[in-house]
A and B are shown apart, each in its own frame.
Chain A
Amino acid sequence: MVSLVVIFALSLYVAIAVLDQISIQIGPYSPIFGGAVTGLIMGDLKTGLIVGATLQLMTLGVATYGGATVPDFLTGSIMGTAYAIIAGKGAEYGIGLAVPIGLLLTQLDILARMANMFFQHRADRFAAQGNYKGVERQNVWGMIPWILSRVIPVVVGLVFGQTVVNAINQFIPQWFMSGLKAAGMILPAMGIAILMRYLPLKSFWPFFIIGFTFMAYFSKSITILGVALIGLAMAGLYMMFAEKGNAQPAPAAAPTPAPTPGAPVAHEDLYADEEVEIND
């Protein structure tokens, strides 16, 4: 049984984190914070960091583009870290649990987003009466479904924690656990693949290869930050050449003002392959 203080602290944290997720996104909403804070509260920061960081890397590309629902890896990382610490079986065990938990909790996220339609309709009624204070209140109440959809699973999961963990240990065979472990190691591929779909890979693929090659061959001497700086330099070069390219046709086009230089159209084309639907 997890102590009441821990349950209270984690509930408070997840409430703050979900509000962060739908507003400023400064950090607490991310799986890496979820793991680290849970680890800190439960006295095993290192396990929390590893669970959180692995989930973070796995979900890099999984963002709520256009308000789509995505698996709740925030709550997943909290529960995964908590169970790993309770069972004392290390970070991989937690990662393996966090993924299915996050997937399962997708349903609660959907429920919360549906529940807020109730407040939207109340706001419509107040608007028809010109009652702006009534409209205002509805948006504030909209926080409640968001908070409940995260706090309830955390409380339930922690109260029944030991029972759940014991049940898992009894029923799950060894091959399944080592399979989950390998799955945890390859799942970041998903986040990366979504990003590749989302970014204009077809227009700018050479830069992707440069980044990969630097890291693949020089991983002992270069860090991600180093590669990011190379990328920044290449982006800067692109800006220089693109601006130069745009400036040149301008004088030629001056006598006939009607057709503007084709630059915006060209940029439009670069976006053509970005039309990717990411359904969650």
Chain B
Amino acid sequence: MTKLDKRDISKVYWRNIFGLQWGWNYERMQGLGYSWVMMPVLKKLYKDKPEEMKKALQTHLGYFNTSQPMSHLIIGADIGIEEQTGMQDEEAIVGLKTGLMGPLAGVGDTLFLAIYRTIVFSISAYMALSGSAVGLLLPIVGGILLLWLRRWFTTVGYVQGAKLATEFATQMKLLTNAASILGLTVVGALIPSVITYTLDLKYKMGKVTLNAQDMLNQILPGLLPLAIVLLSYWLLGKKSMNSTKLIFVLIALGMVLGNLSGIFGWLGGLF
């Protein structure tokens, strides 16, 4: 049996970092990339076995799609299994790949797309709005840490092989819940800080000027941003709604909100 060494794992790791999605397509999604990522290992394991190589190529070109950071666990486990048994257990390999890609996609998208991205990029955008480009370093530092984490995922997957499926998943859930708490706290804080729209409506009566925004602030600061977010949240729950349609709804709302004083002026002129 051919044995793999550290350099083979490294090659697969770097290919996974850069090229898993180069060939992304609607039909097999990351399938083309998966076979490319596995290639250094396939070449070594099936060097003198053209039939097994053919089988491996066809298996790995199949449909595959998961969260990129999490794919390292699956690919690591796949390598571990194929090193032991080659392509004999083709079904076990396909089962492992498809069985893990769904749950890990959910966990990975929550951790790395929803939570990590929100926190890192909102802090850096927040700093940029006040004119400082220093915040741009934050995603880069975070990205380098993620590279290290993904390297660790590859090793864990490779060492744990099929065992990973059950054990790691339960631990991940606790961690995901904790991360969700952090994420939701930040999401709540984002509302009043990033939605900067304020009412520009003043009502003059003799010497007294009523400012609509000041009145809203006395009820609850950030009331308007919260209302717009909750409206969007509610709309997104509708079957017929998606984020692209929501953009148009919000642009239409902006058209009204941006011209409020004009609209009220026009209405006032009617009477």
B236 at the interface (CB under 8 A from A): yes
Q: Binding site of A, secondary structure by majority: helix, strand, loop or mixed?
A: helix
Segment from B18-26, B86-94, B204-212 that makes contact with A: B18-26
B229 at the interface (CB under 8 A from A): yes
* B121 with A50: CB separation less than 8 A: no
* B247 with A139: CB separation less than 8 A: no
Segment from B4-12, B73-81, B155-163, B251-259 that makes contact with A: B251-259
In the bound complex, residues from chain B placing their C-beta under 8 Å from that of A106 are: 244
* B105 with A66: CB separation less than 8 A: yes
Contact status of A186 and B222, CB under 8 A, knowing A142-B23, A209-B188, A264-B170 = no
In the bound complex, residues from chain B placing their C-beta under 8 Å from that of A115 are: 25
* B258 with A182: CB separation less than 8 A: yes
Determine which of A198, A228, A243 lies in contact with B114 in the assembled complex, contact meaning CB atoms within 8 Å. A198
Interface string of A219-259 (1 = CB under 8 A from B): 10001110110111011101100110000000000000000
Interface string of A258-280 (1 = CB under 8 A from B): 00000110011011001010111
A84 at the interface (CB under 8 A from B): no
Interface size on B, as a range, is: 35 or more
B201 at the interface (CB under 8 A from A): no
In the bound complex, residues from chain B placing their C-beta under 8 Å from that of A263 are: 170
Segment from A9-17, A51-59, A150-158, A162-170 that makes contact with B: A51-59
Contact status of A139 and B186, CB under 8 A, knowing A62-B243, A199-B110 = no
Bound form: Cα–Cα A23–B242 in Å:
26
A61 at the interface (CB under 8 A from B): yes
In the bound complex, residues from chain B placing their C-beta under 8 Å from that of A99 are: 247, 251
A36 at the interface (CB under 8 A from B): yes
Bound form: Cα–Cα A212–B193 in Å:
9
Number of A-B contacts (CB under 8 A): 398
Determine which of B123, B250, B259, B262 lies in contact with A189 in the assembled complex, contact meaning CB atoms within 8 Å. B250
A108 at the interface (CB under 8 A from B): no
Determine which of A120, A187, A194, A225 lies in contact with B27 in the assembled complex, contact meaning CB atoms within 8 Å. A120
In the bound complex, residues from chain B placing their C-beta under 8 Å from that of A22 are: 21-22, 24
Determine which of A24, A183, A197 lies in contact with B18 in the assembled complex, contact meaning CB atoms within 8 Å. A24
Bound form: Cα–Cα A238–B22 in Å:
39
B65 at the interface (CB under 8 A from A): yes
CB distance from A24 to the nearest CB of B (A): 6
* B131 with A116: CB separation less than 8 A: no
Bound form: Cα–Cα A184–B39 in Å:
46
* B254 with A180: CB separation less than 8 A: yes
In the bound complex, residues from chain A placing their C-beta under 8 Å from that of B117 are: 60, 63
In the bound complex, residues from chain B placing their C-beta under 8 Å from that of A65 are: 109, 113
In the bound complex, residues from chain A placing their C-beta under 8 Å from that of B235 are: 193
* A123 with B35: CB separation less than 8 A: yes
Determine which of A142, A179, A236, A280 lies in contact with B255 in the assembled complex, contact meaning CB atoms within 8 Å. A179
In the bound complex, residues from chain B placing their C-beta under 8 Å from that of A194 are: 236, 243
Q: Which residues of A contact B (CB under 8 A)?
A: 19, 22-27, 30, 32-33, 36, 45-46, 49-50, 52-54, 56-57, 60-67, 70-71, 99, 103, 106, 113-117, 119-120, 123-124, 126-130, 132, 135-136, 138-143, 146, 175-176, 178-190, 192-201, 203-205, 207-217, 219, 223-225, 227-228, 230-232, 234-236, 238-239, 242-243, 263-264, 267-268, 270-271, 274, 276, 278-280
30 contacts between A and B (CB under 8 A): A23-B19, A23-B68, A24-B17, A30-B121, A32-B128, A50-B129, A53-B125, A60-B122, A103-B247, A119-B23, A120-B31, A129-B54, A130-B53, A132-B42, A139-B19, A179-B258, A180-B251, A190-B243, A193-B230, A195-B118, A215-B193, A224-B189, A228-B182, A238-B181, A242-B178, A268-B173, A271-B106, A271-B173, A279-B243, A280-B243
